[in-house]
């Protein structure tokens, strides 16, 4: 598994390129949710962490062994988050079927 810093470094320097990368990775997430947005979902998959929190200032992950890592959120990732939460990149929004929502 990669470190959080390595994973964040893989994200391109433009919002639309980050979106394209996440689509190619099959990542989807929820709008306005710092623990299940596409960036958080990608970070979880790539680092093997059990929890991720993505904000405009930092990205933090926690691992099963109790350790954690934190990095500053790069400006281009903040741009992506703002674009995604603002309605862009609908292809990255997680959707559920009726069967998935029923108990």
State the residue range of the domain holding 41: 4-87
In which band, very low, low, confident or very high, does the pLDDT at 102 lie, cut at 50, 70 and 90? low
Any domain includes 67 = yes
Q: What is the pLDDT of residues 10-61, one digit of tens each?
A: 998 999 999 999 999 999 999 999 999 999 999 999 999 999 999 999 999 9
Residue 96's pLDDT is 73
In the block, tokens 């929004």 appear at 93
Give Cβ neighbours of residue 71 (< 8 Å, ≥ 6 apart).
4, 5, 8, 58, 59
In a domain, 95, yes or no: no
Q: How confident is the model at residue 101 (pLDDT cuts 50, 70, 90)?
A: low
Q: Is residue 92 part of a domain?
A: no
pLDDT at 47: 97
Q: Report CA-CA distances (Å) from 1 to 5, 49, 64, 97.
A: 12, 9, 13, 31
Assigned token pair, 95: 């959707």
Could you tell me if 54 and 46 are in contact, meaning their C-beta atoms sit under 8 angstroms apart? no
């Amino acid at each position: 598994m990669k470190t959080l810093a390595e994973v964040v470094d893989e994200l391109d320097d433009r919002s639309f390129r980050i979106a394209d990368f996440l689509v190619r990775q099959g990542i989807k997430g929820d709008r306005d949710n710092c623990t299940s947005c596409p960036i958080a979902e990608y970070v979880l998959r790539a680092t093997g962490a059990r929890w991720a929190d993505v904000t405009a200032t930092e990205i933090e992950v926690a691992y099963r062994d109790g350790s954690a890592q934190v990095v500053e959120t790069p400006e281009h990732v903040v741009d992506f988050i703002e674009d995604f939460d603002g309605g862009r990149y609908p292809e990255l929004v997680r959707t559920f079927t009726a069967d998935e929502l029923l108990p």
